[in-house]
Structure 1
């Protein structure tokens, strides 16, 4: 009998561990989407799949799945994404299959789980080969993450990584450092590209804590000392009165301070001390509409003197990830610099949740609304446009703020050449993972490139490789996504893994080398058509 059939028919809710029931109840108290029947079903399937599995912290693995899903719920994800979040590790860490997930929850959830699995494999390859520390290849990895999977799978992977970073203390110190380094090089920039500032700040702060613990402790202490709550409260009350007098309604006005990670990055980038940074403390004002943003700005400049050169209009000139807001720095009470951010509610949602902002506007489960598809199109357009314009000599973090999109987020102009269309003749470049001699690199190829193009680039092209196949033994053939390839004209796709290292035991290679050496020692000429020459082609 099919194993999945046994699993499905023998399971009853009564067999659920009380701890698991408490986990579900806790999630339901935190967000109503966990009461959805579809999500509850996914929870029970995740519990079955991970039953008995424990994390390094000693907690059941199921808790990580739930916390990942809860993070997704905070940015407004629907039941399809929440279900995939609960099941995100089942393909890699359990005996659950894609077909089973597809049959139980539909291809939408199955494709997302599979997408997360691919992203996990990609990040693992990058971590093992230290690829993300190389600027050009890190840029390509970020692009691959966005382009090789549904952008919602990237969000699930980000939530997964955020919870892993929150519980990193359970790992040995060396693993903490390696994990945090990969996060800072891949996942923080990804959160930035997708415009999810809330996750970017959390990820960045956690990376800073583990990679630079002494600086983190020192800056944290200075930030606490410098934060004057009474001064912020006074500024809030002063602005509140002025807004009321000016008849400007607003949703929220609050004090804020820059994240430790952002402070540290700015200190490094501009070679400043903490005292020289003017936007550490500030106010954030959420108003009704764009016109009120500029009215409120005039009031702010009437209340306090503006610091010259510090005004930034991100409403008329949005950041590359869609961020919009007015920023200005004024001299507050006691001549202490105070940054004021002014934006609408929609702009604030975009600033906090980026790509996922549209989820916050709706209630319930909305499958493939036109706006969702539009946002997916925009995310892929970002990828295409970055491929065309990215300066390969700059890191994506440093370069990000200087990039401006050709179209106003999230819409394309009618003649925009970068609007993503999976069926159009012209598409952006293809990024491929190349494994060669136990090393990994990320290679960029034009659209419609073939495996033969890759082989030619790496110096392994050969006139003996006809368009009809490779005249090589099975174990010596190039591998595409872990499978031997017979047709060198097969097209490369985004995220393909090409292995050129022969899949043979070390002993075989050693024997070949020894045989060649013996032939040289005996003075025997090596024929161009002989066996040793064929082995030499492996290179």
Structure 2
């Protein structure tokens, strides 16, 4: 009824949901290294739209979280903060990232959220921002400076909280909570508009930053200045071109690298850039005021040939860039989950060797306790251990014991030993095997 494309999307979202549940049940997010591998694996899915659907679903779930018991609310919010917020950040979806952060903040730190929300409402002066927009609009018109967009903006509540915690500030000392954002056509207009701003309002000393002539390490470019309005209220003004705004909003500046630090694998950067290229291209296609040539400039080169396919092509959203980096797979063993990293080209046999090397094969009584394991890949039993692993595979290792679980066998053996039902003739001196008395 819906076609193969929709079916593939449903399958992709279902797999993401399965991985998310496994991570939540095993508290994977609390282990930084494994959480990072999980982020990478989710981004490696073949269709970026599946990731977007899952993120949208998580935003909806977080909005209705009050329906769950308190303990589940906190578990869900913790997983969202540690798994899905970084994912939205890496994809450059700032609005979803902000929503998720604020909702997680509300459930994880309810007292701090309530207090800060109250102060935030007290300090917000909508009339001040509206007046500032009108004042700047008039000043720009008088100076003959055309602009693309001028709007008021508020800093994300969780970002305010994080900044206060990180720099030991009070809310009054955070100067960029409220402000204006001006998007102009040309770079020279940024500096002309800055002169207008500083003529309209006195500048706060030491609060001007020129990220155009000296971009951030992540490539972010814009002018930031903090000014003083009537009544001793401060607000920030950001000035940038349309191209700079596109970079900042949709990710070509790789904002996640600035926020989260360096990345060990170059192919991860490529995958992130590819996914962001998909998002940016879609936004460009929907925005008639932009031409596709703007995002194909020398300054912004797509890492993959997307979008070279026609709209009807079923592969138009498929990742075109192959990577030679490591693979990340989910390992389920004895109801425990871990995110494992393997070199490209690794097989199920390689995974089995690793499991065998990392698990004790003998009990303190020299009884072989490491039973044979039957592997399943994505719920399907396999007999060919030479099967190549793929990014995102879920590998289950189940014991080959016929009826009883490994725990039951261990308990039974321990009871027999405690009752003296058998003895071990094998000694450290190597005197032979076990025998019945």
Task: Mark yes or no: TM-score above 0.5.
Answer: yes
Q: CA deviation at 1:142?
A: 1.2
Change (3 A) 1:522 1:168: closer
Q: CA deviation at 1:314?
A: 6.3
Q: CA deviation at 1:343?
A: 2.7
User: Could you tell me which residue of structure 2 aligns to residue 222 of structure 1?
Assistant: 119
User: Could you tell me which residue of structure 1 aligns to residue 161 of structure 2?
Assistant: 264
Alignment of 1:289-368 (within 5 A): 289-303=186-200, 304-308=202-206, 310-313=208-211, 317=215, 320=218, 325-345=222-242, 347-348=244-245, 351-352=248-249, 354=251, 355=276, 356-363=279-286
Distance 1:408 1:198 in 2: 25
Distance 1:214 1:504 in 2: 51
Q: Deviations over 1:330-385 (max 9, x none)?
A: 33334433211123345445545553233233359xxxxx99xx99xxxxxxxxxx
Distance 2:34 2:210 in 1: 31
Aligned residues: 370
Contact 1:455 1:461 in 2 (8 A): no
Alignment of 1:92-111 (within 5 A): 104-111=1-8
User: Could you tell me which residue of structure 2 aligns to residue 139 of structure 1?
Assistant: 36
User: Could you tell me which residue of structure 1 aligns to residue 254 of structure 2?
Assistant: none
User: Could you tell me which residue of structure 2 aligns to residue 496 of structure 1?
Assistant: 393
Out of 240, 244, 250, the position equivalent to 2:147 is 250
Distance 2:16 2:135 in 1: 49
What's the secondary structure of 1:195's corresponding residue?
coil
Contact 1:349 1:360 in 2 (8 A): no
Change (3 A) 1:142 1:413: closer
Given the alignment of the two structures, is residue 273 of structure 1 paired with residue 196 of structure 2, yes or no?
A: no
Contact 1:324 1:343 in 2 (8 A): yes
Given the alignment of the two structures, is residue 513 of structure 1 paired with residue 410 of structure 2, yes or no?
A: yes
Runs of 5+ unmatched residues, structure 1: 1-103, 365-369, 376-406, 415-419, 463-473, 534-539
Distance 1:334 1:293 in 2: 27
Out of 61, 71, 75, the position equivalent to 1:174 is 71
User: Could you tell me which residue of structure 1 aligns to residue 263 of structure 2?
Assistant: none
User: Could you tell me which residue of structure 2 aligns to residue 485 of structure 1?
Assistant: 382
Distance 2:82 2:408 in 1: 41
Contact 1:195 1:323 in 2 (8 A): no
User: Could you tell me which residue of structure 1 aligns to residue 266 of structure 2?
Assistant: none
Q: Deviations over 1:22-75 (max 9, x none)?
A: xxxxxxxxxxxxxxxxxxxxxxxxxxxxxxxxxxxxxxxxxxxxxxxxxxxxxx
Q: Deviations over 1:381-436 (max 9, x none)?
A: xxxxxxxxxxxxxxxxxxxxxxxxxx95453499xxxxx98575x52221111222
Distance 1:326 1:507 in 2: 68
Q: CA deviation at 1:301?
A: 3.7
Q: CA deviation at 1:489?
A: 2.5
- Answer 1 or 2: which has greater helix percent: 1
Q: CA deviation at 1:122?
A: 0.7
Q: Deviations over 1:61-97 (max 9, x none)?
A: xxxxxxxxxxxxxxxxxxxxxxxxxxxxxxxxxxxxx
Distance 1:162 1:307 in 2: 39
Q: CA deviation at 1:318?
A: 6.4
Q: CA deviation at 1:168?
A: 1.6
User: Could you tell me which residue of structure 2 aligns to residue 411 of structure 1?
Assistant: 302
Change (3 A) 1:349 1:166: farther
What's the secondary structure of 1:278's corresponding residue?
coil
Change (3 A) 1:507 1:458: closer
Contact 1:434 1:499 in 2 (8 A): yes
Out of 18, 28, 36, the position equivalent to 1:121 is 18
What's the secondary structure of 2:399's corresponding residue?
coil
User: Could you tell me which residue of structure 1 aligns to residue 107 of structure 2?
Assistant: 210
Runs of 5+ unmatched residues, structure 2: 252-275, 306-317, 360-370, 428-432
Change (3 A) 1:510 1:526: farther
Q: CA deviation at 1:306?
A: 4.6
Change (3 A) 1:224 1:508: closer
Distance 1:347 1:329 in 2: 20
